[in-house]
């Protein structure tokens, strides 16, 4: 202990000095910050006391100081026991800070940390979603392996939480648990799979992030969610957008065929001249055959608006998506946005310029119009300057080179010499790339040889050497000039380059070369190693071509080299001597010495360092570093043949399941989105909805937006227009499709309904009402939204959402009697999209045979008078073990009469029938208690039926009654001011007559059940059905 | 994604650290210090530094390095943009009156960028249209490149959930735009109207770029004569700033800054107005000119003393100019109207225009 605290104090004393001047920005009171050894000890004592005090303010103060210590990197671990006691504090501020502390130190103090776990477990059940979320966050951040099972459980539960915010945090926790214990992978993938289905924009980004960390190779989990993700994308928060776009880029490269036409990659579009006409025609045919997968198009289309994002990372993500998966002709749109980012901070510029550099090599055309945006300013940091220069070089062509060279002249004069040197390299590259200006550039560079700055001269020499190497014939003059430079220039690379040049061309400058050798022989010992090697080379070459004049000089140099300190030079000396000086021991090689030394050497290629860098996905860390970073996910090549696109089709059944609460407490709550839709029922066949401007009715849309906009009444007016047109068009497409297909439920409104329903059941249970703003505001707004839909539908009563949807399905056709075809139906309790007066029915068809069943459709109908039926679209074929859910609508005319019809396959017809339970002939209605009483007052006498029920008291709690009633009938709960009375309201589907149900508790475990309705027949049937249910135990 | 964050001040002290996963030792910053040393200047420190086990991604603002420690592949802009947002938040939080008392409360709202239950007694919405001219002017005074970048900054203090629309007289001027997430993109695409539920308080509604077809009016010119002579250790220096195309508005807040060549030891200058300084260490000349009076153009002239014996500098310094013009958007952009829906009260609305120099350089 004592040694511990000693270490701590020493460390903190060291830390104190560094925090000078930072106090102003710290949350921590600076008093006594410069404590000496002793006062520091005291300070901790005093913190402990504060933490044990019973005043929250003292505790809060202490926690602030402690968190401050952590932030400064000081050791505060000895306070652990004192801090952890406060984990259950009622004060939320203290709680938050204790959480911060725990996350930092739990790993070091595992045993003590375990004391806090039960608090978190309790907090995970807190009615406040913020507390649930933060408890999960801390629990998953405590890296104590022993609690892995607890974390796993918590994540599972949170992933089914009503609050999307908590579910988002569940997705975050997945990654943390995975890094703590990779063995949990399989279970975590299950959670990821579930969360991927989530329709909340809040969750989407986080779960995809988890997916990328835990199981990026499980592309199969994405299929069914692909279209949803594309459609949600605009409304996901910025950071989520980045992650999703990167993931979808990889996805697209595995699932779609290349949209790039052959020869497209060539910037110059040079047609192969010798290509025969036939071949060309063949190619053209291939081209014609390509049709982009609608899903591929969907992704490209839906990401485009994000180029306008204020977030540089989002813009870059879209840019790389276009680069990697869009047809080449469409990639152009990204240039403008990328250029826009160049106005941003230097770090953003740095990354963006790197990516532009890579792109501009392959596709000059994209950035040529923005040439001037890459002009260098003297205030740019050097790294930015050199990147801009790189891009300018890539963009240089015959047309703009003269302008560029003028610009380069300014750069060469820059005070930033490193940049000036880079400019010279650039001029060299332009000279080799564009033959028209080679001579101009060379002359310019030669002029630079008389520059005062040595770095500039040296760089010029090096570049000239490379240029001359490419066309050695006619440049004797320049070589002579360079030979003179040798007297003045000291930079080793430049001296070495000159020597090499003279050596290579020694026969063209026969007078100068030996003289240069003479001079350098004199200075040999004081030269840089690099230069020494070149002197040796020069000597060797001269010895071979002009031994008369240089034999002795060369031998002198070889002798110097023999005793050089550097072994490389000694080595080289020995090697050269053996080769060029013939003696009896020298082998066969010396015969070829001249060939070896004076061989034609290939000219160096002056290439961009960004060439081929796009084999890394653009926008990634790996691309920036030009090496594969840890965890880099390879972008696959386009498949030759696209994998089955139908894997992305989403069956209606999934939708139905989504709306339906799985159990009493765990209900999926979808979130309020601002503009987009979470529609999942994109249909298989025709999602090619290229038409951006959707028309068609939007009635569902209006109601929804009214609800989404917080409670303001006026919002209805503008929400119709203010509703982002993205979703308008989508819904337009959707409704058109629905109209065409006539076989789908109204996905959108259905989904929203499900949401409201959840809220309502929750608030009416009111046992654990959310105290958070999000839930409240939405349930507040509910009534408004309802009033709007009422106004629209011009009905007496406004339809609300079902409180509960029983999953009970009824057998329509048993597999034994259906020759392997089984069919069941259930009532989704959604307003029917096929007609106002119809009841929605969902039919699930199962193929239990081992053969395809083809052409499943409805044949002859035998319906009672007035009854109508909207059949589902024929199912072309159903695979063995396959199952499909289809929707139909039946107008039962508010009666419980049976609808009989034939269910046919290609070969057989089976007679089946549906008889609706009376409770399914209703649609729930929202009304106030006052309205209820008023309506009830008008439906007395003949219109009222009642019964007395006897049951145990535990069956008469409000929640039990609610549950039982809504299980039987699709009615809406009416808020009640009296504890002993519960009211429910609904209307009949066909005629819209009200159906009012009242349960009034009496003394002695009895209750009165009253039903008021004009439709006395179904009223009394309903009474008959409800009575036994309510009295049951 | 981000493992840890270190804040390093200009004297190289790590004064704050935060770890989101297990603790990464401070010593990882040594790699950063090495890179910093190599870069000599702070702004040349590479934003991405690979180390054997981590990657260090950093941003430099307010003379502080924000160094994020990363372990695996991540889009670097993701981290960089995030760090900049962190700095923005710090600025907001620590900004005017030191530290807020209240810890920030986590809030969840239906409209993610706007808190619920906003109430004001005075409801006001102010919009500032600010345009910046980025230009490079060559020696002879002709424009090498010039473009206009604009922003609309808003300060909206409105009760409830107002829904605003803002329209322009000449939206076609806007060539490239980027929006605050509150702006409905499709509405812009189809009608060229900005329709949005604003965040509460200050925010940047829109950034835009004016289309390149429109020639950019350059409101100022700089006449300069800077000469070094080989033989003498004295050089001559004279610059004059004058108005060019100002649409009749006054040019204010003019400052001139120039990085002089290393060979310049000192300068002895007399301004016709304003104050000037020359730092012999950094060789930075700055002249705070103030307002330009077209009748009497401001000038700065005098001599430069050069290092004796040294050859004359190759290059002439570039001049960086700052200025402001009130009540003018140089592109001619004009707001047509601002309407509010969704709330009943009548808000007070205000629009202000301003033109500024952005990166405005004159080569000499």
Q: CB A305 to CB B186 under 8 A?
A: yes
Confidence of residue B315 (pLDDT cuts 50, 70, 90): confident
Share of residues in chain B with pLDDT > 90 (%): 56
Q: CB A383 to CB B262 under 8 A?
A: no
Q: How far apart (Å, rounded) are the C-alpha atoms in residues B148 and A786?
A: 49
Question: Considering only B108-122, B231-245, B284-298, which range has the smallest mean pLDDT?
Answer: B108-122
pLDDT of A611: 81
Q: CB A712 to CB B342 under 8 A?
A: yes
pLDDT of A194: 94
Q: Given A337, A709, A772, which is nearest B176 (Cβ)?
A: A337
Q: CB A773 to CB B117 under 8 A?
A: yes
Distance from CA of A532 to the nearest CA of B (A): 29
Question: What is the mean predicted confidence (pLDDT) over B147-175?
Answer: 92
Q: How far apart (Å, rounded) are the C-alpha atoms in residues B256 and B258?
A: 7
Q: CB A239 to CB B184 under 8 A?
A: no
Closest B-chain CA to A343: B149
Q: What is the pLDDT of residues A622-632, one digit of tens each?
A: 999 999 998 89
Tokens encoding A950: 């006897």
Contacts of B320 in chain A (CB under 8 A): 378-379
Q: CB B77 to CB A352 under 8 A?
A: yes
Distance from CA of A458 to the nearest CA of B (A): 16
Q: Given A18, A337, A381, which is nearest B43 (Cβ)?
A: A381
pLDDT of A472: 59
Contacts of A246 in chain B (CB under 8 A): 75
Q: What is the pLDDT of residues A918-946, one digit of tens each?
A: 888 888 888 888 888 888 888 887 788 88
Q: What is the pLDDT of residues A100-130, one digit of tens each?
A: 898 888 888 888 888 888 888 888 988 888 8
Q: What is the pLDDT of residues A874-917, one digit of tens each?
A: 888 888 888 888 888 888 888 888 888 888 888 888 888 888 88
Mean pLDDT of chain A: 77
Which residue would you say has higher pLDDT here, A351 or A748?
A351
Distance from CA of B59 to the nearest CA of A (A): 6
From the candidates A347, A387, A715, which should be mutated to test the interface with B, based on the most B CB atoms within 10 A? Answer: A347
The whole-angstrom distance between residue A916's C-alpha and the CA centroid of its chain comes to 45
Q: Phi and psi dihedrals of B325, rounded to 5?
A: -130, 120
Query: What ipTM goes with this model?
Result: 0.90
pLDDT of A263: 54
Distance from CA of B94 to the nearest CA of A (A): 7
Distance from CA of B132 to the nearest CA of A (A): 11
Confidence of residue A25 (pLDDT cuts 50, 70, 90): very low
Question: What is the mean predicted confidence (pLDDT) over B105-117?
Answer: 71
The whole-angstrom distance between residue B96's C-alpha and the CA centroid of its chain comes to 19
**Which residues, at least 6 apart from A363, have a Cβ–Cβ distance to it below 8 Å?**
A267, A328, A331
Reported as type and span, the H/E element at residue B68 is: strand B64-70
Q: How far apart (Å, rounded) are the C-alpha atoms in residues B259 and B262?
A: 9
Question: What is the mean predicted confidence (pLDDT) over A428-438?
Answer: 85
Q: How far apart (Å, rounded) are the C-alpha atoms in residues A340 and A815?
A: 64
Share of residues in chain A with pLDDT > 70 (%): 78
Nearest CA to B135 among B320, B325, B330?
A: B320
pLDDT of B34: 93
Confidence of residue A842 (pLDDT cuts 50, 70, 90): confident
pLDDT of A103: 87
pLDDT of B231: 67
Q: How far apart (Å, rounded) are the C-alpha atoms in residues A1010 and A1012?
A: 7
Confidence of residue B108 (pLDDT cuts 50, 70, 90): low
Which residue would you say has higher pLDDT here, A612 or A193?
A193
Which residue would you say has higher pLDDT here, A509 or A620?
A620
Q: CB A714 to CB B344 under 8 A?
A: yes
pLDDT of A1016: 82
Q: CB A237 to CB B112 under 8 A?
A: yes
pLDDT of B269: 92
Nearest CA to A573 among A592, A554, A551, A601?
A: A554
pLDDT of A818: 83
Q: Is the pLDDT of residue B39 over 60?
A: yes
Q: Given A24, A378, A674, which is nearest B318 (Cβ)?
A: A378
User: pTM of the entire structure?
Assistant: 0.68
Tokens encoding A152: 């796993």
β-pairing, A909-914 vs B220-228, is: unpaired
Which residue would you say has higher pLDDT here, A17 or A367?
A367
Q: CB B81 to CB A313 under 8 A?
A: yes
Contacts of A346 in chain B (CB under 8 A): 43, 47, 60
Contacts of B181 in chain A (CB under 8 A): 238, 309-310
Residue B297's alpha-carbon distances to A363, A673, B292, B301, in angstroms, are: 48, 58, 7, 13
Nearest CA to A229 among A210, A208, A256, A213?
A: A208
Q: What is the pLDDT of residues A498-551, one digit of tens each?
A: 888 888 888 888 888 888 889 888 899 899 998 999 999 999 888 888 878 888
pLDDT of A287: 52
Q: Give the DSSP per-residue string, A863-907.
A: --TT-EEEPPPPEEEE-TT-EEEEEEEEE-TTS-PPEEEEEE-SS
Q: Which residue has the tokens 């039982």?
A: A964
Contacts of B136 in chain A (CB under 8 A): 375, 377
Contacts of B76 in chain A (CB under 8 A): 351, 619-621, 624
CB-count burial class (<10 Å; 0-12, 13-18, 19+) for B186 = buried
Confidence of residue B126 (pLDDT cuts 50, 70, 90): very high
Q: How far apart (Å, rounded) are the C-alpha atoms in residues A426 and A448?
A: 14
Distance from CA of A18 to the nearest CA of B (A): 6
Q: CB A621 to CB B76 under 8 A?
A: yes
Contacts of A632 in chain B (CB under 8 A): 73
Q: Give the DSSP per-residue string, A75-126.
A: --GGGHHHHHGGGG-S-HHHHHHHHHHHHHHTTT-HHHHHHHHHHHHHHTT-
**Which residues, at least 6 apart from A81, have a Cβ–Cβ distance to it below 8 Å?**
A112
From the candidates B29, B108, B189, B207, which should be mutated to test the interface with A, based on the most A CB atoms within 10 A? Answer: B108
Question: What is the mean predicted confidence (pLDDT) over A73-79?
Answer: 87
Q: Is the pLDDT of residue A792 over 80?
A: no
Question: What is the mean predicted confidence (pLDDT) over B204-222?
Answer: 85
Distance from CA of B342 to the nearest CA of A (A): 5
C-alpha gyration radius of chain A: 40
Confidence of residue B79 (pLDDT cuts 50, 70, 90): very high
Buried b (16+ CB within 10 A) or exposed e, A628-637: ebeebbebee
Q: Given B77, B108, B341, which is nearest A313 (Cβ)?
A: B77
Distance from CA of A936 to the nearest CA of B (A): 36
Q: Phi and psi dihedrals of B109, rounded to 5?
A: -135, 155
Q: CB B59 to CB A345 under 8 A?
A: yes
Contacts of A631 in chain B (CB under 8 A): 71-73
pLDDT of A753: 43
Q: Is the pLDDT of residue B240 over 50?
A: yes
Q: What is the pLDDT of residues A447-490, one digit of tens each?
A: 887 777 777 888 888 888 888 877 656 677 778 888 888 888 88
Which residue would you say has higher pLDDT here, A833 or A78?
A78
Closest A-chain CA to B186: A725
pLDDT of A797: 57
Question: What is the mean predicted confidence (pLDDT) over A701-717?
Answer: 39
Q: Given A176, A310, A383, which is nearest B46 (Cβ)?
A: A383
């Amino acid at each position: 202990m004592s040694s511990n605290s000693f270490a701590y104090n020493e460390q903190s004393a060291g830390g104190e000095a560094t925090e000078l001047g930072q106090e102003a920005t710290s949350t921590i009171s600076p008093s006594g910050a410069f404590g000496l050894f002793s006062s520091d000890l005291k300070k901790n004592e005093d913190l402990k006391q504060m933490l044990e005090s019973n005043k929250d303010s003292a505790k809060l103060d202490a926690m602030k100081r402690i968190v401050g210590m952590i932030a400064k990197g000081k050791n505060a671990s000895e306070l652990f026991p004192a801090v952890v006691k406060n984990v259950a504090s009622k004060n939320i501020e203290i709680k938050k800070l204790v959480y911060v502390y725990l996350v930092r130190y739990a790993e070091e103090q595992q045993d003590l940390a375990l004391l806090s776990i039960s608090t978190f477990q309790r907090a995970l059940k807190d009615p406040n979603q913020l507390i649930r979320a933060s408890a999960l966050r801390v629990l998953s951040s405590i890296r104590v392996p022993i609690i892995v099972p607890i974390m796993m459980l918590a994540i599972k539960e949170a992933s089914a939480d009503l609050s999307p915010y908590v579910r988002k945090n569940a997705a975050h926790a997945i990654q943390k648990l995975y890094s703590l214990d990779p063995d949990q992978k399989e279970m975590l993938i299950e959670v990821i799979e579930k969360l991927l289905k989530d329709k909340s924009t809040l969750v989407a980004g986080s779960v995809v992030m988890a997916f990328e960390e835990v199981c990026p190779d499980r592309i199969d989990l994405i299929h069914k969610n692909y279209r949803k993700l594309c459609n949600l994308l605009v409304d996901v928060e910025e950071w989520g957008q980045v992650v999703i776009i990167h993931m979808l880029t990889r996805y697209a490269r595995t699932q779609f065929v290349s949209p790039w036409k052959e020869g497209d990659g060539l910037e110059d579009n040079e047609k192969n001249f010798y290509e025969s006409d036939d071949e060309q025609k063949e190619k053209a045919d291939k081209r014609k055959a390509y049709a982009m997968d609608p899903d591929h198009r969907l992704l490209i289309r839906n990401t485009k608006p994000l180029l306008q994002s204020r977030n540089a990372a989002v813009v870059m993500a879209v840019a790389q998506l276009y680069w990697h998966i869009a047809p080449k002709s469409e990639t152009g749109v990204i240039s403008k946005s990328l250029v826009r980012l160049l106005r941003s901070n230097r770090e953003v510029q740095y990354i963006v310029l790197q990516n532009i550099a890579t792109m501009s090599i392959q596709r000059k055309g994209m950035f040529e119009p923005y040439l001037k945006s890459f002009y260098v300013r003297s205030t740019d940091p050097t790294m930015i300057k050199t990147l801009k220069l790189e891009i300018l070089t890539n963009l240089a062509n015959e047309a703009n080179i003269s302008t560029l060279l003028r610009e380069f002249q300014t750069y060469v004069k820059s005070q930033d010499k490193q940049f000036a040197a880079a400019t010279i390299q650039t001029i060299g590259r332009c000279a080799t790339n564009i033959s028209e200006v080679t001579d101009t550039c060379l002359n310019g560079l030669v002029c630079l040889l008389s520059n005062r700055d040595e770095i500039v001269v040296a760089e010029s020499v090096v570049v000239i050497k490379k240029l001359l190497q490419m066309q050695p014939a006619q440049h004797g003059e320049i070589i002579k000039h360079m030979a003179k430079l040798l007297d003045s220039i000291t930079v080793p690379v430049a001296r070495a380059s000159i020597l090499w040049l003279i050596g290579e061309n020694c026969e063209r400058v026969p007078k100068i070369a030996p003289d240069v050798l003479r001079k350098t022989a004199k200075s040999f010992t004081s030269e840089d190693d690099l230069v020494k090697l070149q002197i040796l080379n020069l000597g060797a070459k001269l010895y071979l071509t002009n031994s008369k004049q240089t034999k002795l000089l060369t031998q002198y140099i070889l002798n110097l080299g023999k005793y050089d300190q550097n072994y490389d030079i000694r080595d080289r000396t020995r090697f050269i001597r053996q080769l060029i000086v013939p003696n009896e021991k020298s082998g066969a090689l010396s015969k070829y010495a001249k060939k070896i030394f004076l061989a034609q050497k290939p000219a160096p290629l002056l290439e961009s360092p960004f060439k081929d860098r796009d084999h890394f996905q653009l926008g990634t860390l790996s691309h920036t570093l030009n090496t594969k970073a840890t965890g880099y996910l390879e972008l696959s090549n386009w498949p030759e043949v696209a994998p089955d696109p139908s894997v992305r089709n989403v069956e209606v059944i999934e939708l139905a399941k989504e709306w339906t609460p799985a159990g009493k407490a765990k209900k999926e709550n979808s979130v309020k989105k601002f503009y987009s839709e979470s529609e999942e029922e994109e249909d298989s066949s025709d999602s090619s909805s290229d038409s951006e401007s959707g028309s068609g009715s939007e009635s569902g849309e209006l109601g929804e937006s009214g609800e989404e906009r917080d409670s303001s009444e006026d919002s209805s007016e503008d929400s119709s227009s203010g509703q982002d047109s993205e979703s308008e068009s989508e819904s337009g497409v959707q409704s058109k499709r629905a109209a065409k297909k006539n076989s789908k439920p109204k996905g959108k409104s259905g989904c929203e309904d499900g949401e409201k329903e959840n809220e309502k059941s929750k608030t009416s249970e009111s046992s654990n009402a959310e105290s958070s703003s999000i839930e409240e505001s939405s349930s507040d707004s509910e009534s408004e939204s309802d009033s709007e839909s009422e106004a629209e539908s011009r009905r007496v009563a406004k339809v609300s959402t079902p409180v509960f949807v029983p999953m009970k399905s009824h057998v329509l056709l048993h597999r034994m009697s259906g020759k392997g075809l089984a069919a069941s139906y259930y009532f989704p309790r959604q307003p029917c999209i096929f007609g106002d007066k119809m009841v929605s029915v969902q039919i699930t068809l199962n193929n239990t045979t081992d053969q395809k069943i083809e052409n499943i459709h409805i044949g002859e109908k035998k319906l009672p008078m007035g009854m109508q039926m909207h059949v589902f679209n024929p199912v072309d074929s159903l695979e063995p073990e396959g199952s499909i859910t289809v929707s139909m609508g039946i107008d039962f005319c508010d009666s419980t009469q049976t609808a009989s019809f034939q269910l046919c396959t290609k070969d057989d017809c089976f007679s089946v029938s549906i008889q609706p339970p009376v409770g399914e002939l209703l649609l729930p209605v929202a009304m106030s208690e006052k309205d209820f009483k008023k309506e009830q007052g008008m439906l007395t006498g003949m219109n009222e039926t009642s019964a007395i029920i006897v049951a145990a008291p535990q069956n008469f709690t409000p929640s039990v009654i609610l549950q039982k009633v809504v299980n039987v009938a699709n009615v809406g709960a009416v808020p009640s001011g009296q504890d002993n009375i519960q009211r429910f309201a609904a209307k009949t589907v066909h005629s819209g007559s009200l159906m009012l149900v009242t349960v009034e508790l009496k003394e002695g475990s009895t209750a009165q059940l009253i039903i008021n309705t004009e439709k006395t027949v179904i009223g009394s049937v309903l009474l008959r059905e409800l009575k036994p249910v309510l009295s049951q135990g | 994604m981000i493992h840890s964050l270190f804040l390093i001040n200009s004297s190289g002290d790590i004064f704050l650290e935060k770890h989101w996963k297990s603790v990464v030792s401070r010593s990882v910053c040594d790699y950063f210090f090495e890179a910093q040393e190599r870069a000599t200047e702070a702004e040349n420190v590479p934003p991405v530094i690979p180390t054997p086990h981590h990657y260090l991604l950093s941003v430099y603002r307010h003379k502080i390095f924000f160094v994020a420690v990363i372990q695996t592949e991540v889009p670097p802009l993701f981290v960089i943009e995030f760090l900049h947002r962190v700095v923005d938040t710090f600025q907001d939080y620590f900004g005017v009156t030191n530290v807020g008392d209240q810890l920030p409360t986590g809030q969840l709202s239906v409209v993610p960028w706007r808190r619920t239950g906003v109430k004001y007694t005075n409801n006001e919405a102010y919009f500032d249209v600010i345009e910046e001219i980025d230009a490079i002017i060559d020696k002879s005074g002709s424009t090498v490149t010039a473009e206009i970048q604009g922003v609309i900054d808003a300060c909206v203090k409105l009760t409830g959930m107002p829904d605003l629309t803002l329209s322009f007289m000449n939206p076609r001027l806007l060539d490239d735009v980027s929006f605050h997430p509150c702006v409905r993109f499709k509405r812009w695409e189809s009608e060229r109207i900005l329709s949005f539920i604003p965040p509460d308080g200050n925010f940047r509604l829109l950034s835009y770029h004016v289309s390149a077809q429109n020639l950019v009016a350059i409101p100022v010119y700089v006449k300069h004569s800077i000469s070094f002579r080989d033989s003498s250790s004295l050089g001559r220096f004279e610059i004059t700033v004058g108005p060019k195309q100002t649409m009749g508005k006054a040019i204010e807040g003019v400052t001139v800054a120039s990085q002089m060549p290393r060979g310049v030891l000192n300068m002895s200058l007399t301004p016709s107005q304003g104050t000037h300084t020359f730092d012999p260490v950094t060789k930075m000349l700055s002249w705070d000119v103030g307002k330009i009076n077209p009748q009497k153009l401001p000038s700065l002239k005098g001599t430069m003393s050069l290092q004796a014996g040294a050859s004359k500098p190759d290059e002439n310094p570039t001049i960086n100019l700052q200025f402001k013009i009130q009540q003018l958007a140089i592109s001619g952009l004009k707001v047509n109207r601002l309407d509010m829906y969704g709330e009943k009260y009548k808000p007070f609305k205000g629009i202000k225009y301003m033109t500024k120099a952005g990166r405005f350089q004159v080569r000499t």
